[in-house]
Amino acid sequence: MHASMFAMSLLASFMTLQISWIDCVFSQATGKSSLRGYWDIVNMQMIKAAAQLHQQQQSPPKWEHSYRDFGIRIVQYDWTRRIGGGINASLANDINSLNFPRLSVVGAGFSLSQLSALSSLTLPNLTSVSTGFILEHLPALTTFDFPSVSVGESGITITNTGLKTLTCISCIDRDLSTSGMNISFNFDLVLAELPFARMSGQLALESNGKDLKVNVQYLGSVAQLFILEVSELSAPALAYIASSLILGYYNSTNLTLGSLGGVTRAMAITDSPLLRFISFPELSNIGDAIIIDNNTYLETVVLSKLTRVLNVGIHGNISSLVMPQLTKVNVFIVNSSNPSFSCSVFDAYVESNVVASTDYYCVGTHEKLSTSSIGPIATGTGGLVNGTTSNVSKDGISGGAIAGTVIGCLAVVFLLASGIWKFLSRKNKREAEQEGATTGVAGKAELDNKDVPRKELETGQEAHEMPAEHGVTEIAEHERFELDGEVRTEG
């Protein structure tokens, strides 16, 4: 054993920059050798040389030692393997299979990169990786059963692989966590089932197979959700997003997140021509803004419990927008190209001081609603509004710039559009007033015929009854009445 250890140390000393430490364990049961330890390889020939050194070993060693020259500590106890360092393999074009049947803990990082022939990777018992898990530029790797593993700092990166499926058949423990996950440019990937319950960083899926279905059934919280080009998203347990939700090019007709209750910063759903229905039935708070734009056939948006959001910008072919619980909004803009869309219930938001009239713009039909139709359980196309609205202070809502580059760009567009639409809104209002709609305050009688000029009495002139053809009406809901025939004098 000492001779083999010396030989290994000698081999490592020649390959200081390329190989930190390799220990080849011979299995008497199978007659095959497997790699164990902290290793960093760049050429398959090194592994072959290391294997030859231990080919005659009759049983795997059961000891603990430390290679201080490399800062590595390896512990093996009852076939449970813990590696104090990390695993890094790159530019080894001869490797076609890597199997770690008993590896459970990696004290540093796990990284496989640019292994062009690697087609098999198994890590059935891996439970913990301290500083990052990376699979990149592995074109021959088409399937991978993701281990039931928690990953610390740096999170998980899977990019530019040949993966068609990324599943977790062996996942039993659902209380797994990672600092973040990036899955991108895996152009053949059609199924990703991810076992994590918590992500302290971002979950990003970008530019994978256009038919990719994503299932994060255990995920309860995530810092940010950034998803581009997926055909299905299933996140039934997702309750909280600490930063933003950004979703684009969603290739499905339905987007529903049934448990999502809060988004601290912003929500943006854009550029999804197939999308027709959006529902977040439990969502109550969005810190900064909700932006829904450039979704050609989107018809229905359901936000049944949304009470707080600073800015609303919704554009598209919307026919039904359910938003009954809003209590305070800075800017409210809904621009629907659907001729059946009604703004009437949203108009009541202005009357109840949910939003200022100068910051409100809605494209659709506008009809005066009767008092009975404005209430806590009012129904109809468009939004619903509570007739007795309580004001919520903006101090309790987080402000600041919208998260990320995408949100920043959307915010600029949103603000520009807001300025233009507010200008048009005021312009239309002025034109409507100039067309001669009756003016004045409640309780003051007005002439309803513009052809009869209005004159003021001169000092000392008597007041006479108006001609009979000019009835007098009272604004609002007061009864109609006629002036009496008595002659009144000034002063």
For the segment 440-467, the average pLDDT, to the nearest whole number, is: 48
Q: Which of 41, 4, 36, 34 is nearest to 19 (CA)?
A: 41
Q: Which residue has the higher pLDDT, 74 or 242?
A: 242
Q: Which residue has the higher pLDDT, 152 or 254?
A: 254
For the segment 147-164, the average pLDDT, to the nearest whole number, is: 91
Per-residue model confidence as pLDDT tens digits over 344-355: 889 989 988 999
Residue 179 — very low, low, confident or very high, per pLDDT cuts 50/70/90? confident
What is the average pLDDT score of the chain?
70
Per-residue model confidence as pLDDT tens digits over 236-288: 999 999 999 999 999 999 999 999 999 999 999 999 999 999 999 999 999 99
**Calpha distance 8→36 (Å, rounded):** 12
Per-residue model confidence as pLDDT tens digits over 111-146: 889 888 888 888 888 889 988 999 999 999 999 888
Q: What is the pLDDT of residue 90?
A: 81
pTM: 0.63
Q: What is the pLDDT of residue 460?
A: 55
Residue 416 — very low, low, confident or very high, per pLDDT cuts 50/70/90? very low
Q: Which residue has the higher pLDDT, 359 or 50?
A: 359
Which amino acid is residue 121, in one-letter code? Answer: L
Residue 413 — very low, low, confident or very high, per pLDDT cuts 50/70/90? very low
Task: Check: CB of residue 22 under 8 Å from CB of residue 39.
Answer: yes
Q: What is the pLDDT of residue 206?
A: 94
**Calpha distance 136→411 (Å, rounded):** 33
Residue 170 — very low, low, confident or very high, per pLDDT cuts 50/70/90? low
Per-residue model confidence as pLDDT tens digits over 296-322: 999 999 999 999 999 999 998 999 999
For the segment 87-116, the average pLDDT, to the nearest whole number, is: 82
**Calpha distance 333→331 (Å, rounded):** 7
Buried/exposed 76-113: b ≥16 CB within 10 Å, e otherwise: beeeebbbbbbbbbbebeebeebebebbbbbbbbbbbb
Q: What is the pLDDT of residue 97?
A: 81
Which amino acid is residue 250, in one-letter code? Answer: Y
For the segment 446-466, the average pLDDT, to the nearest whole number, is: 50
Q: What is the pLDDT of residue 221?
A: 94
With a CB cutoff of 8 Å and minimum separation 6, the contacts of 393 are none
Q: What is the 3-state secondary structure (H, E, C) of the chain?
A: CHHHHHHHHHHHHHCCCCCCCCEEEECCCCCCEEEECCEEECCHHHHHHHHHHCCCCCCCCCCCEEEHHHCEEEEEECCEEEECCCEEEECCCCCCEEECCCEEEECCCEEEECCCCCCEEECCCCCEECCCEEEEEECCCCEEECCCCEECCCCEEEEEECCCEEECCCCCCCCCEECCEEEECCCCCCEEECCCCEEEEEEEEECCCCCCEEECCCCCEEEEEEEEEECEEECCCCCEECCCEEEEEECCCEEECCCCCEECCEEEEECCCCCCEEECCCCCEEEEEEEEECCCCCCEEECCCCCEEEEEEEEECCCEEECCCCCECCEEEEEECCCCCECHHHHHHHHCCCCCHHHEEEECECCCCCHHHCCCCCCCCCCCCCCCCCCCCHHHCCCCCCCHHHHHHHHHHHHHHHHHHHHHHHHHHHHHHHCCCCCCCCCCCECCCCCCCCCCCCCCCCECCCCCCCCCECCCCCCCCCCCCCCECCC
Residue 461 — very low, low, confident or very high, per pLDDT cuts 50/70/90? low
Q: Which residue has the tokens 């803004």?
A: 289
Of 18-27, 84-93, 211-220, 272-281, least confident by mean pLDDT is 18-27
Q: What is the pLDDT of residue 462?
A: 56
Q: What is the pLDDT of residue 422?
A: 46
Q: Which residue has the higher pLDDT, 363 or 177?
A: 363
**Calpha distance 252→118 (Å, rounded):** 33
